[in-house]
Structure 1
Amino acid sequence: MQEHNTTLQHAGVSEAEVSKLFRNTYSLLALTLAFSAIVAFVSMSLNLPYPGIIITLVGFYGLLFLTTKLRNSGWGLVSTFAFTGFLGYSLGPILNAYLSLPNGGQLVAMALGMTALVFFGLSAYAILSRKDFSFLSGFIMAGCIVLMCAVVASFFIQMSGLQLAISAGFVLFSSAVILYQTSAIIHGGEDNYIMATITLFVSIYNLFLSLLQLLGIFSDD
């Protein structure tokens, strides 16, 4: 009887920790999405130029590395907002370019709506089904390598078909990461809400940009 009670007690603590991790992750995710949107709006309003591929890569990986190192301290929150704010700034010029198209506003609105639908749909499925999607780790690793090689190749090979394949690949990759990360929170594979937030944020960011590019390609823009 005592062993049974102890097991239930441990299960209760585990469930409480998962609930706390969910609350912290999605609260921070909502705040970072709002902050990034505000920065993107300011970047658009001031018509700031795109930082360029070198600055973008250095800023992205530099701030990502910093956030990873500081994830267990209060400074991790500061670097998280710096990271998501930087991505918001880089998004501004891209949105301005699309909004300058004849049907740009419609494309941006459709991409935003589809991104929200995919994210909430996949998250709800992972949460409600309680399935373990840890088996996607191999696919995610392979997909990351393939997409990185394809992106590098796109710098030297200007083909609309390649851009289409890359965008479609990022949609599948981001969707897999959302399922994997949500499942990891549920099943104890992730115990740090800052890293969970960063992973989901980047997935949403890539998903939105990829859907926007796909819509632009299919609309001949």
Structure 2
Amino acid sequence: MNNPTVHTARHDSAVEVNKVLRNTYTLLAMALAFSAVMAGISSALNLPHPGIILLLVGFYGLLFGIHKTANSGMGIVFVFALTGFMGYSIGPILNMVIASGGSDIVMLAMAGTALIFFALSGYILTTKKDMSFLGGMMVAGFVVILVGFVANLFLNIPALGLALSALFILFSSGAILMQTSAIVNGGERNYILATTTLFVSIYNIFISLLNLLQAFGGDE
């Protein structure tokens, strides 16, 4: 005989999961649109790139703000501040790529990023597979990427830069799988944090694809 208490708990859990998914994807769509607008403005005004130091300070500063305010309305404000800032940083990169005749590369990178995101998200939403086992590999991958990034700041080796771009795509793909799985399986209940993770992953995949496509396209 079915236990009505268990049935109610499962129903409430499913409702909560659907709510988090709906809020996450709604906020993510809005954040991506805002980031695209900021990228367009930055590109049209030919604004300079903020530079790696300012980019990192702005990114981690705003990320810290999101985590501190994730349970309040200010968290949404910080999400748009972060996505707008990252969008602004894309503008100068797009200008550089397009100026070298790489408009097709930009479109291909956008299409590739969308394909990766929807394929990974669709896989988890369909199978509801628990991807928490990736946690250890993600930590190891982050350490490898961090060491490689710092090393390449001094060595400036093109091949290492391309390897890091490939690793960024793999790492960000893993982050999308883990974050979506956490929502679907009840491990993530904060849509602001979920949106931030997905946005950063999409951003990293897009920038990394741009780097790889430029290199293999012979533009570097």
Q: TM-score, normalised by structure 2?
A: 0.98
Match of 2:96 in 1: 97
- More displaced stretch, 46-55 vs 24-33: 46-55
CA distance in 2, matches of 1:28, 1:142: 30
Amino acid at match of 2:84: G
CA distance in 2, matches of 1:55, 1:117: 30
Match of 1:190 in 2: 188
Q: How big is the shift at 1:220?
A: 1.4
CA distance in 2, matches of 1:154, 1:199: 25
Amino acid at match of 1:172: L
CA distance in 2, matches of 1:135, 1:200: 18
CA distance in 1, matches of 2:190, 2:156: 40
Q: How big is the shift at 1:53?
A: 1.2
CA distance in 2, matches of 1:13, 1:61: 35
CA distance in 2, matches of 1:218, 1:163: 13
> Match of 1:30, SS?
helix
Asked if residue 155 in structure 1 is aligned to residue 153 in structure 2, the reply is yes
CA RMSD for the aligned pairs? 0.8
Asked if residue 143 in structure 1 is aligned to residue 158 in structure 2, the reply is no
CA distance in 1, matches of 2:175, 2:163: 18
Match of 2:76 in 1: 77
Q: For 1:182-210, what per-residue CA distance to the aligned partner results, in whole angstroms no more than 9, with x for missing partners? A: 00001111110000000000000000000
Within 5 Å, give how 1:165-180 maps onto structure 2: 165-180=163-178
Q: TM-score, normalised by structure 1?
A: 0.97
CA distance in 2, matches of 1:36, 1:24: 18
Q: How big is the shift at 1:158?
A: 2.1
Q: Of 124, 127, 152, which aligns to 1:126? A: 124
CA distance in 2, matches of 1:138, 1:189: 17
Q: For 1:58-86, what per-residue CA distance to the aligned partner results, in whole angstroms no more than 9, with x for missing partners? A: 10000000011000001111111001100
Name structure 1 gaps, 5 residues minimum.
none
Matched residues, percent identical? 55
CA distance in 1, matches of 2:105, 2:119: 21
Q: How big is the shift at 1:142?
A: 0.9
Within 5 Å, give how 1:210-221 maps onto structure 2: 210-221=208-219
Q: Of 103, 106, 109, which aligns to 2:104? A: 106
CA distance in 2, matches of 1:120, 1:172: 15
Q: How big is the shift at 1:139?
A: 1.0
Q: Of 198, 203, 206, which aligns to 1:205? A: 203
CA distance in 2, matches of 1:158, 1:90: 21
Q: For 1:109-144, what per-residue CA distance to the aligned partner results, in whole angstroms no more than 9, with x for missing partners? A: 000000000000000001101110000111111111
Misfit runs of 4+, over 6 Å: none
CA distance in 1, matches of 2:162, 2:59: 23
CA distance in 2, matches of 1:130, 1:58: 36
Match of 2:22 in 1: 23
Q: For 1:80-116, what per-residue CA distance to the aligned partner results, in whole angstroms no more than 9, with x for missing partners? A: 10011000011110111101112x1000000000000
Match of 1:52 in 2: 51
Amino acid at match of 2:145: L
Number of aligned residue pairs: 219
Amino acid at match of 2:130: D
